[in-house]
Amino acid sequence: MSLAVQTTGLRRVFGDRAVLDGIDLRVRRGEFLALLGASGTGKTTLLRILAGLDAATSGTVLVPPVRTVVFQEPRLIPSKRALANVILGQGRGARAKGLAALAEVGLSGHADAWPATLSGGEAQRVALARALVREPELLLLDEPFAALDALTRLHMQDLIAELCARHRPAVVLVTHDVEEAILLADRIVVLREGAFVTDLTVELDRPRDRVDGDFVALRRRLLADLGVSAKEPGHVGVAR
């Protein structure tokens, strides 16, 4: 079994608080892992360490050489057009690949648009195209839908599911949205007080149905792990 991520005894200390306290994480190649946790539990810190943006205080980290990040905000360069943002640092030879990536996220018509003229969802799709065009072995998603409206978020979740099924990178998705985690992930871990309190494989068949009994049960269990006592959703269709 080949791995895409392996951390051993990973610790990250801010001041005298261990945000990550001995994390052992193994992610298989092609596996979609969702990392759940309440605010401030260190899930973004873990993702930033995997991305190589922050250093761990101690422990070992192994990741693939090609890995890309989609941040919570699009983080596009305002002085470059959409296509130039997608192929950033790849040279002009990557134009065809960049256009293909934009087409995959449904934005072929916006290659020449300035980032400031794009809507929030469009900009985030450009950011996704920028992450995919590099053909990453590890795709890191840091709450990429959090700043989007509910409808756009649903579209983006479908898009991510489809693109990840096609390209099969290993994915680590950081989120606080339990439903999103269940919808997308092969495996879910819950981070609490610096350690994993849950590590489970999602056995539900795809495409997953939010009103399915197993879905609801899993959702309730994960919310309990997160420290939220879930009420029975009264109006399931509009629960979100």
Is-contact 181 33, C-beta < 8 A?
no
DSSP 136: -
**At residue 14, what are phi and psi to the nearest 5 degrees?**
-110, 120
Q: Is the dihedral of CA 73, 78, 82, 84 positive or negative?
A: negative
**At residue 44, what are phi and psi to the nearest 5 degrees?**
-65, -35
Residue 49 found at the interface with other proteins (CB under 8 A):
yes
Count of chain residues binding other proteins (CB under 8 A): 22
Task: List, in sequence order, every residue forming a beta bridge with 69; answer none if it has no partner.
Answer: 140
Residue 6 found at the interface with other proteins (CB under 8 A):
yes
Q: Which is nearer to other proteins, 3 or 230 (CB)?
A: 3
Q: Which is nearer to other proteins, 60 or 117 (CB)?
A: 60
Q: Smallest gap, in angstroms, from Cβ of residue 29 to other proteins?
A: 9
Is-contact 36 182, C-beta < 8 A?
no
Residues 50-79 that bind other proteins (CB under 8 A): 50-56, 60-65
Residues 78-117 that bind other proteins (CB under 8 A): none
Q: Which is nearer to other proteins, 52 or 120 (CB)?
A: 52
Residue 199 found at the interface with other proteins (CB under 8 A):
no
Residue 8 found at the interface with other proteins (CB under 8 A):
yes
Residue 2 found at the interface with other proteins (CB under 8 A):
yes
d(CA 102, CA 235): 37
The residues binding other proteins (CB under 8 A) are: 1-6, 8, 24, 49-56, 60-65
